[in-house]
Protein backbone atom coordinates (compact mmCIF):
# COMPACT_ATOMS: atom_id res chain seq x y z
CA UNK A 1 0.00 0.00 0.00
CA UNK A 2 1.47 3.35 -1.09
CA UNK A 3 1.38 5.88 1.75
CA UNK A 4 2.84 9.37 1.60
CA UNK A 5 4.07 11.01 4.78
CA UNK A 6 2.28 14.19 3.65
CA UNK A 7 0.19 13.98 0.48
CA UNK A 8 0.74 17.35 -1.22
CA UNK A 9 -0.01 15.90 -4.66
CA UNK A 10 -3.52 14.88 -3.60
CA UNK A 11 -4.09 18.37 -2.23
CA UNK A 12 -2.93 19.99 -5.46
CA UNK A 13 -5.26 17.77 -7.51
CA UNK A 14 -8.14 18.83 -5.27
CA UNK A 15 -7.61 22.55 -5.90
CA UNK A 16 -5.68 22.42 -9.19
CA UNK A 17 -7.97 24.53 -11.36
CA UNK A 18 -8.24 27.29 -8.74
CA UNK A 19 -4.52 27.34 -8.01
CA UNK A 20 -3.54 27.33 -11.67
CA UNK A 21 -5.93 30.19 -12.39
CA UNK A 22 -4.65 32.31 -9.48
CA UNK A 23 -0.99 31.73 -10.31
CA UNK A 24 -1.52 32.47 -14.00
CA UNK A 25 -3.11 35.78 -13.03
CA UNK A 26 0.13 36.68 -11.28
CA UNK A 27 2.14 35.72 -14.34
CA UNK A 28 -0.07 37.70 -16.70
CA UNK A 29 -0.05 40.78 -14.44
CA UNK A 30 3.75 40.54 -13.99
CA UNK A 31 3.29 41.89 -10.45
CA UNK A 32 5.43 39.34 -8.65
CA UNK A 33 6.19 41.26 -5.44
CA UNK A 34 3.40 42.74 -3.34
CA UNK A 35 0.20 43.81 -5.05
CA UNK A 36 -3.39 42.64 -4.91
CA UNK A 37 -2.71 38.97 -4.16
CA UNK A 38 -0.66 39.81 -1.08
CA UNK A 39 -3.12 42.46 0.11
CA UNK A 40 -5.97 39.98 -0.21
CA UNK A 41 -4.03 37.31 1.69
CA UNK A 42 -3.08 39.64 4.54
CA UNK A 43 -6.67 40.82 4.93
CA UNK A 44 -7.92 37.21 4.92
CA UNK A 45 -5.29 36.09 7.45
CA UNK A 46 -6.20 38.95 9.79
CA UNK A 47 -9.89 38.08 9.51
CA UNK A 48 -9.20 34.39 10.06
CA UNK A 49 -7.15 34.86 13.23
CA UNK A 50 -8.95 37.92 14.56
CA UNK A 51 -5.66 39.82 14.74
CA UNK A 52 -5.74 43.49 13.74
CA UNK A 53 -2.66 43.17 11.53
CA UNK A 54 -1.35 40.26 9.44
CA UNK A 55 1.90 40.76 7.53
CA UNK A 56 3.12 38.29 4.92
CA UNK A 57 6.85 37.54 4.94
CA UNK A 58 9.40 35.24 3.38
CA UNK A 59 9.40 32.37 5.90
CA UNK A 60 8.50 31.35 9.44
CA UNK A 61 12.14 31.84 10.39
CA UNK A 62 12.10 35.41 9.09
CA UNK A 63 8.80 36.00 10.89
CA UNK A 64 10.55 35.20 14.17
CA UNK A 65 13.62 37.22 13.22
CA UNK A 66 11.59 40.28 12.22
CA UNK A 67 9.59 40.08 15.45
CA UNK A 68 12.76 40.15 17.54
CA UNK A 69 14.15 42.99 15.44
CA UNK A 70 10.95 44.97 15.91
CA UNK A 71 11.35 44.58 19.68
CA UNK A 72 14.98 45.82 19.44
CA UNK A 73 16.40 42.61 20.86
CA UNK A 74 20.13 42.24 20.35
CA UNK A 75 23.56 41.85 21.90
CA UNK A 76 23.48 40.88 25.58
CA UNK A 77 19.72 40.36 25.77
CA UNK A 78 18.12 37.08 26.89
CA UNK A 79 15.07 35.39 25.39
CA UNK A 80 13.33 32.52 27.16
CA UNK A 81 12.22 29.61 24.99
CA UNK A 82 12.04 25.82 24.79
CA UNK A 83 14.88 23.47 23.85
CA UNK A 84 12.42 21.03 22.24
CA UNK A 85 11.68 22.66 18.91
CA UNK A 86 13.11 23.20 15.43
CA UNK A 87 16.38 25.12 15.49
CA UNK A 88 14.88 28.25 13.88
CA UNK A 89 13.27 29.28 17.17
CA UNK A 90 16.61 29.77 18.91
CA UNK A 91 18.66 30.34 15.77
CA UNK A 92 17.16 33.79 15.23
CA UNK A 93 17.89 34.75 18.84
CA UNK A 94 21.56 33.83 18.38
CA UNK A 95 21.67 35.55 14.98
CA UNK A 96 20.90 38.87 16.66
CA UNK A 97 23.58 38.33 19.31
CA UNK A 98 21.09 37.59 22.07
CA UNK A 99 21.11 34.52 24.30
CA UNK A 100 18.56 31.70 24.41
CA UNK A 101 17.59 30.76 27.94
CA UNK A 102 15.93 27.36 27.77
CA UNK A 103 13.08 26.10 29.94
CA UNK A 104 11.98 22.46 29.95
CA UNK A 105 8.69 21.22 28.51
CA UNK A 106 5.52 19.66 29.88
CA UNK A 107 5.56 15.89 29.52
CA UNK A 108 2.07 15.63 28.06
CA UNK A 109 1.81 18.60 25.66
CA UNK A 110 5.54 18.83 24.75
CA UNK A 111 5.18 22.62 25.01
CA UNK A 112 7.15 24.90 27.34
CA UNK A 113 6.26 24.46 31.01
CA UNK A 114 4.91 27.81 32.30
CA UNK A 115 5.64 26.86 35.93
CA UNK A 116 9.36 26.92 35.14
CA UNK A 117 9.52 30.21 33.25
CA UNK A 118 9.65 32.68 36.11
CA UNK A 119 12.78 31.13 37.60
CA UNK A 120 14.56 31.76 34.30
CA UNK A 121 13.78 35.49 34.17
CA UNK A 122 16.69 37.87 34.86
CA UNK A 123 17.21 41.60 34.43
CA UNK A 124 18.51 40.79 30.94
CA UNK A 125 15.35 38.96 29.83
CA UNK A 126 13.68 40.84 26.97
CA UNK A 127 11.05 38.40 25.62
CA UNK A 128 9.49 34.95 25.89
CA UNK A 129 9.01 32.70 22.85
CA UNK A 130 6.69 29.76 23.57
CA UNK A 131 6.37 27.26 20.72
CA UNK A 132 2.97 25.80 19.84
CA UNK A 133 4.40 22.42 18.90
CA UNK A 134 2.88 19.72 16.65
CA UNK A 135 -0.20 21.87 16.05
CA UNK A 136 -1.27 22.57 19.65
CA UNK A 137 -0.92 25.92 21.43
CA UNK A 138 1.18 26.31 24.53
CA UNK A 139 -0.54 27.47 27.75
CA UNK A 140 -0.63 31.06 26.58
CA UNK A 141 -2.76 32.50 29.41
CA UNK A 142 -0.28 31.33 32.03
CA UNK A 143 2.66 32.55 29.93
CA UNK A 144 1.06 35.95 29.25
CA UNK A 145 0.34 36.40 32.95
CA UNK A 146 4.00 35.86 33.82
CA UNK A 147 5.07 38.15 30.99
CA UNK A 148 2.72 40.90 32.12
CA UNK A 149 4.05 40.67 35.67
CA UNK A 150 7.59 41.25 34.38
CA UNK A 151 6.64 43.66 31.52
CA UNK A 152 7.87 41.29 28.82
CA UNK A 153 6.54 40.81 25.28
CA UNK A 154 5.52 37.31 24.18
CA UNK A 155 6.13 35.99 20.66
CA UNK A 156 4.11 32.86 19.90
CA UNK A 157 6.08 30.60 17.57
CA UNK A 158 2.99 29.29 15.82
CA UNK A 159 4.85 27.88 12.83
CA UNK A 160 3.12 24.52 13.39
CA UNK A 161 -0.21 25.67 14.82
CA UNK A 162 -1.92 28.04 12.38
CA UNK A 163 -5.62 27.14 12.59
CA UNK A 164 -5.47 25.74 16.13
CA UNK A 165 -7.47 27.30 18.95
CA UNK A 166 -6.76 28.03 22.60
CA UNK A 167 -9.71 28.89 24.86
CA UNK A 168 -11.73 29.73 21.76
CA UNK A 169 -9.13 32.09 20.25
CA UNK A 170 -7.03 31.37 17.20
CA UNK A 171 -3.33 30.65 17.37
CA UNK A 172 -1.28 33.66 16.18
CA UNK A 173 -3.61 36.06 18.03
CA UNK A 174 -2.75 35.06 21.59
CA UNK A 175 0.16 37.33 22.50
CA UNK A 176 2.14 40.46 21.62
CA UNK A 177 3.19 38.93 18.30
CA UNK A 178 2.36 35.64 16.58
CA UNK A 179 4.51 34.05 13.88
CA UNK A 180 3.65 31.26 11.48
CA UNK A 181 5.20 29.39 8.58
CA UNK A 182 3.76 28.49 5.21
CA UNK A 183 6.46 25.93 4.37
CA UNK A 184 4.80 23.43 2.00
CA UNK A 185 4.37 20.70 4.63
CA UNK A 186 2.65 22.98 7.17
CA UNK A 187 -1.12 22.73 7.74
CA UNK A 188 -1.48 25.82 5.53
CA UNK A 189 1.40 25.50 3.10
CA UNK A 190 2.62 27.51 0.13
CA UNK A 191 4.53 26.12 -2.87
CA UNK A 192 7.81 27.42 -1.53
CA UNK A 193 8.89 29.32 1.56
CA UNK A 194 6.55 31.80 3.21
CA UNK A 195 5.34 33.03 6.56
CA UNK A 196 3.30 35.66 8.36
CA UNK A 197 3.44 37.87 11.43
CA UNK A 198 0.37 38.86 13.47
CA UNK A 199 -0.10 41.62 16.02
CA UNK A 200 -2.68 44.03 17.40
CA UNK A 201 -0.05 46.71 17.96
CA UNK A 202 -0.09 49.31 15.18
CA UNK A 203 3.39 50.61 15.97
CA UNK A 204 4.91 47.12 15.83
CA UNK A 205 3.05 46.32 12.59
CA UNK A 206 4.33 49.49 10.93
CA UNK A 207 7.90 48.80 12.02
CA UNK A 208 7.77 45.16 10.87
CA UNK A 209 6.54 46.23 7.41
CA UNK A 210 9.56 48.51 7.13
CA UNK A 211 12.02 45.95 8.46
CA UNK A 212 10.99 43.26 5.96
CA UNK A 213 11.57 45.71 3.10
CA UNK A 214 15.13 46.81 3.92
CA UNK A 215 13.95 49.19 6.64
CA UNK A 216 12.30 51.53 4.12
CA UNK A 217 9.71 54.07 5.21
CA UNK A 218 9.71 55.61 1.73
CA UNK A 219 11.28 54.42 -1.50
CA UNK A 220 15.06 54.61 -1.05
CA UNK A 221 14.65 56.16 2.40
CA UNK A 222 15.62 53.75 5.16
CA UNK A 223 14.64 54.32 8.77
CA UNK A 224 16.03 50.99 10.00
CA UNK A 225 18.56 48.34 9.05
CA UNK A 226 16.23 45.68 7.72
CA UNK A 227 16.22 42.57 5.56
CA UNK A 228 14.62 41.37 2.34
CA UNK A 229 11.82 39.44 4.02
CA UNK A 230 8.97 39.89 1.53
CA UNK A 231 6.40 37.26 0.59
CA UNK A 232 6.09 36.98 -3.19
CA UNK A 233 2.79 37.22 -5.06
CA UNK A 234 2.91 33.65 -6.42
CA UNK A 235 2.96 32.22 -2.92
CA UNK A 236 0.23 34.64 -1.84
CA UNK A 237 -1.91 33.44 -4.76
CA UNK A 238 -1.49 29.79 -3.77
CA UNK A 239 -2.29 30.58 -0.14
CA UNK A 240 -5.39 32.56 -1.09
CA UNK A 241 -6.83 29.40 -2.66
CA UNK A 242 -5.80 27.07 0.14
CA UNK A 243 -7.09 29.39 2.87
CA UNK A 244 -10.59 29.22 1.37
CA UNK A 245 -10.60 25.43 1.96
CA UNK A 246 -8.55 25.46 5.15
CA UNK A 247 -11.32 24.91 7.70
CA UNK A 248 -12.34 21.75 5.88
CA UNK A 249 -8.77 20.48 6.07
CA UNK A 250 -8.44 21.42 9.76
CA UNK A 251 -11.58 19.37 10.47
CA UNK A 252 -10.15 16.41 8.56
CA UNK A 253 -6.85 16.68 10.43
CA UNK A 254 -8.67 16.69 13.76
CA UNK A 255 -10.71 13.63 12.78
CA UNK A 256 -7.64 11.72 11.59
CA UNK A 257 -5.60 12.68 14.67
CA UNK A 258 -8.45 11.67 17.00
CA UNK A 259 -8.90 8.41 15.10
CA UNK A 260 -5.19 7.62 15.49
CA UNK A 261 -5.57 8.18 19.24
CA UNK A 262 -8.59 5.87 19.44
CA UNK A 263 -7.02 3.12 17.34
CA UNK A 264 -3.74 3.24 19.27
CA UNK A 265 -5.34 3.36 22.71
CA UNK A 266 -4.41 -0.25 23.50
CA UNK A 267 -1.02 -0.17 21.74
CA UNK A 268 2.30 0.09 23.58
CA UNK A 269 2.78 3.75 22.61
CA UNK A 270 2.11 7.16 24.18
CA UNK A 271 -0.34 9.06 21.98
CA UNK A 272 -0.47 12.87 21.87
CA UNK A 273 -2.64 14.56 24.47
CA UNK A 274 -4.72 17.54 23.42
CA UNK A 275 -5.13 19.77 26.45
CA UNK A 276 -8.52 20.91 27.70
CA UNK A 277 -9.90 23.94 25.82
CA UNK A 278 -7.39 23.35 23.00
CA UNK A 279 -7.81 22.17 19.45
CA UNK A 280 -4.89 20.93 17.38
CA UNK A 281 -4.22 21.09 13.65
CA UNK A 282 -1.93 18.04 13.97
CA UNK A 283 0.91 19.52 11.96
CA UNK A 284 2.47 16.18 12.84
CA UNK A 285 0.98 13.14 14.49
CA UNK A 286 3.77 12.45 16.95
CA UNK A 287 3.68 9.54 19.40
CA UNK A 288 6.26 8.17 21.82
CA UNK A 289 7.65 4.64 21.79
CA UNK A 290 10.24 3.05 24.05
CA UNK A 291 12.21 1.44 21.21
CA UNK A 292 11.93 3.94 18.39
CA UNK A 293 14.58 2.33 16.21
CA UNK A 294 12.71 -0.99 16.18
CA UNK A 295 9.37 0.70 15.47
CA UNK A 296 10.78 2.76 12.60
CA UNK A 297 12.33 -0.41 11.12
CA UNK A 298 9.05 -2.33 11.44
CA UNK A 299 7.11 0.42 9.65
CA UNK A 300 9.81 0.82 7.03
CA UNK A 301 9.51 -2.88 6.14
CA UNK A 302 5.90 -2.16 5.17
CA UNK A 303 6.95 0.99 3.28
CA UNK A 304 5.31 3.26 5.82
CA UNK A 305 7.27 6.53 6.06
CA UNK A 306 8.08 8.09 9.45
CA UNK A 307 9.99 11.09 10.75
CA UNK A 308 11.47 12.26 14.03
CA UNK A 309 10.59 15.76 15.24
CA UNK A 310 13.12 16.23 16.94
CA UNK A 311 15.94 13.79 17.82
CA UNK A 312 18.35 16.23 19.54
CA UNK A 313 17.14 19.02 21.86
CA UNK A 314 18.62 22.42 21.09
CA UNK A 315 20.68 22.65 24.29
CA UNK A 316 22.64 19.57 23.12
CA UNK A 317 23.22 20.84 19.58
CA UNK A 318 26.82 21.70 18.73
CA UNK A 319 25.75 25.12 17.48
CA UNK A 320 24.55 26.05 20.97
CA UNK A 321 27.52 24.63 22.88
CA UNK A 322 28.66 28.16 23.82
CA UNK A 323 25.54 28.50 25.98
CA UNK A 324 27.10 25.99 28.38
CA UNK A 325 24.20 23.58 28.79
CA UNK A 326 24.85 19.88 29.33
CA UNK A 327 23.03 16.57 29.21
CA UNK A 328 20.60 16.29 32.11
CA UNK A 329 19.74 20.01 32.24
CA UNK A 330 16.31 19.48 30.65
CA UNK A 331 15.39 15.85 31.37
CA UNK A 332 11.87 15.85 29.93
CA UNK A 333 13.01 17.30 26.61
CA UNK A 334 15.85 14.79 26.50
CA UNK A 335 13.62 11.80 27.24
CA UNK A 336 10.95 12.82 24.73
CA UNK A 337 13.64 13.36 22.06
CA UNK A 338 14.69 9.71 22.37
CA UNK A 339 11.12 8.40 22.01
CA UNK A 340 9.19 10.73 19.73
CA UNK A 341 8.29 9.75 16.17
CA UNK A 342 5.79 11.01 13.63
CA UNK A 343 3.39 8.99 11.50
CA UNK A 344 1.91 9.88 8.10
CA UNK A 345 -0.52 12.75 8.48
CA UNK A 346 -2.53 14.81 6.02
CA UNK A 347 -6.18 15.57 5.32
CA UNK A 348 -5.95 13.03 2.50
CA UNK A 349 -4.91 10.04 4.58
CA UNK A 350 -7.59 7.39 4.07
CA UNK A 351 -9.07 5.17 6.77
CA UNK A 352 -7.67 2.14 4.96
CA UNK A 353 -4.17 3.63 5.04
CA UNK A 354 -4.57 4.58 8.68
CA UNK A 355 -5.80 1.08 9.58
CA UNK A 356 -2.78 -0.43 7.82
CA UNK A 357 -0.39 1.83 9.74
CA UNK A 358 -2.01 1.02 13.09
CA UNK A 359 -2.12 -2.71 12.39
CA UNK A 360 1.59 -2.62 11.57
CA UNK A 361 2.34 -0.78 14.82
CA UNK A 362 0.37 -3.31 16.85
CA UNK A 363 2.02 -6.08 14.83
What's the CATH code of the domain at 355?
A: 3.90.1150.10
Whole-structure pTM over 0.85, yes or no?
A: yes
Three-class secondary structure of residue 136 per DSSP: coil
* 264 and 233 fall within a common domain: no
Residues 132/157, Cβ–Cβ less than 8 Å: yes
Closest alpha carbon to 253 in 188, 306, 196, 183: 188
* 232 and 259 fall within a common domain: no
Alpha-carbon distance 195 to 63, whole Å? 6
pLDDT reported for residue 204: 98
DSSP state, residue 329: S
pLDDT reported for residue 50: 98
Please give the tally of structural domains in the chain: 2
Strands annotated E in the chain:
53-57, 78-81, 99-102, 125-129, 155-157, 165-166, 169-170, 177-181, 195-199, 216-218, 221-222, 278-279, 285-288, 340-343
Residues of the chain with pLDDT under 70: none
Residues 45/188, Cβ–Cβ less than 8 Å: no
Residue 2 maps to a domain: no
Residues 6+ apart with CB under 8 A from 2: 303
pLDDT reported for residue 88: 98
Range(s) of the domain holding residue 196? 8-103+110-244
Of 217, 244, 271, the last residue of a domain is 244
Alpha-carbon distance 88 to 179, whole Å? 12
Alpha-carbon distance 69 to 62, whole Å? 10
* 235 and 250 fall within a common domain: no
pLDDT reported for residue 363: 86
Residue 3 maps to a domain: no
Closest alpha carbon to 77 in 101, 113, 102, 112: 101
* 288 and 351 fall within a common domain: yes
Residues 6+ apart with CB under 8 A from 221: none
The region, left, alpha or beta by phi > 0 then psi within -120 to 50, assigned to residue 220 is: left
Amino acid sequence: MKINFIDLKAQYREYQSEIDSEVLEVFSSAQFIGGDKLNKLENSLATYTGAKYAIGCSSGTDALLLSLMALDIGEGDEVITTPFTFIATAEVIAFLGAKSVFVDIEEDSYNIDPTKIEDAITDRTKAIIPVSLYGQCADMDAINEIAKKHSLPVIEDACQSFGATYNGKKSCNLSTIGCTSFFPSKPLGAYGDGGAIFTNDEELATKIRMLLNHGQNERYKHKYIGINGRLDAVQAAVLNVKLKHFDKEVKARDEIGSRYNDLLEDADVITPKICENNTSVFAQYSMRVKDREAMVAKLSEKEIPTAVHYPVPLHLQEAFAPLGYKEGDFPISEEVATQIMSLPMSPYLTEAQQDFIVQTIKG
